[in-house]
Structure 1
Amino acid sequence: MVFVTLKDTSSDFHCLEHFDGGDFVRWQRKMHFLLVTVKVYYMIMNPRPPESGGNEEESVAKTRERLRWDQDDEICRGHILNGMSNTLFDAYHTVKTAKELWNQLEHCYITEDATSKRFIVSKFFSYKMVDGWSVMEQFNEIKTILDRYSQHKLTLDEFIVVTSIIDKLPPS
């Protein structure tokens, strides 16, 4: 019965967008939620239990713990890989553990995300509203930019935001 519940829960995530190299932070948060839901997120935080080193007196509990870790690691790694575009899947499918895969993705895409933050800041401050286009449509575009701020954990003082938006209004 528990297996069916987990299967039903994980099948609800088939509609998640595949990570294609863009907006890593958003994808990472969604993937974090999925991995917590299927109870394998701990794989990203915990190393594999050590081998006994040939010790024949290893307890059955330790052996089971390691086998459980291997199984959960494969499930976690599979979910992460399944959440990627085909191109990225092909590039990362040979990574051995979920923890290693997660760390490689963070290392590669967090640097890109810093560039993305600079772009968002620049886009907000350089945005100008124009005549001939609905003020509400332009305001919604600014709001979308500001929503991206919160996605990247950036904050702006409310006074600065309001003043900037007023300055962006068209002369008319």
Structure 2
Amino acid sequence: MTTTTHESGTLRELASNFVKLDWFDGGNFQRWQKKMHFLLSSLKIAYVLDTLRPDETENESIAVTQERQKWNNIDYMCMGHILNGLSDGLFNTYQNKVTAKELWDKLETRYMTEDVTSKKFLVSHFNNYQMVDGRSVMKQFRDIEKMLNQFKQYDMKMDEMIVVSSIIDKLPLFWKDFKRSLKHKKDEISLEALANHLCIEE
């Protein structure tokens, strides 16, 4: 495989940016996968994740042999970048996979399922959360904000007005009159405005 000095320098430059990616340690696989695929695509080596290795045949042409050698080299680079993106524990677990595609598919099968489970847990936790009397409402509001930030990490989008309405419903019993006044407001309330209302009222 022939690589010009310019191309080689570009690859080195792109590869050096790899250290800016967070190591995957088993959480939020989809976000890590998107970042990793972007890196591999930038390096022009992502295609081995979708392209089978050319088979060896008798009396094959030099061109076919070179194409297979090129694929092998690219696959080695691709696997190296994926492995380098794993935490030490996961590196030790997955380092013996034969091809980059096998490694990629194994990670996807294992951790995509866990991501789905995590999302279901987050939704259930949010839906079941209920504020209680005797504890700062603003502290409880911050707890809910942390949940919403986790939603963002998983690229889960929720309509702000639905979120606001849900939080109002979660207010403790002692706040029932305030809750009623918020629900009867004609204008829609943003999440930020709701936080201000709660802060002032408390």
Q: Is TM (by shorter chain) over 0.5?
A: yes
| Structure-2 change in CA distance of 1:28 and 1:110 (3 Å) | same
Aligned to 1:107: 109
Cα distance in 1 between the residues matched to 2:143 and 2:26: 28
Aligned to 1:125: 127
Identify unmatched segments of 5+ residues in structure 2. Answer: 1-5, 176-201
2:75–2:100 Cα contact (<8 Å) kept = yes
Q: Does 1:49 align with 2:54?
A: yes
Letter aligned with residue 81 of structure 1: L
TM-score (norm 2): 0.73
1:9-68 CA-to-partner distances (Å, cap 9, x unmatched) read 11012121111111111111111111111111111111101111xx23x11111111010
Q: CA deviation at 1:85?
A: 0.7
Cα distance in 2 between the residues matched to 1:110 and 1:80: 16
Aligned to 1:165: 167
Cα distance in 2 between the residues matched to 1:135 and 1:117: 21
Identify unmatched segments of 5+ residues in structure 1. Answer: none
1:35–1:76 Cα contact (<8 Å) kept = yes
1:70-115 CA-to-partner distances (Å, cap 9, x unmatched) read 0000000000000001111111111010000011111111221221
Aligned residues: 166
Aligned to 2:90: 88
Aligned to 1:18: 23
Pick the aligned partner of 1:8 from 13, 18, 22.
13
Structure with the bigger RCO (C-alpha within 8 Å, sep 6+) is 1
Q: Percent identity?
A: 46
| Structure-2 change in CA distance of 1:132 and 1:167 (3 Å) | closer
2:126–2:144 Cα contact (<8 Å) kept = no
Cα distance in 1 between the residues matched to 2:88 and 2:49: 22
Cα distance in 2 between the residues matched to 1:161 and 1:140: 10
2:49–2:100 Cα contact (<8 Å) kept = yes
- What is the aligned-residue RMSD (CA, Å)? 2.2
Pick the aligned partner of 1:29 from 30, 34, 48.
34
Bigger-Rg structure (1/2): 2
TM-score (norm 1): 0.85
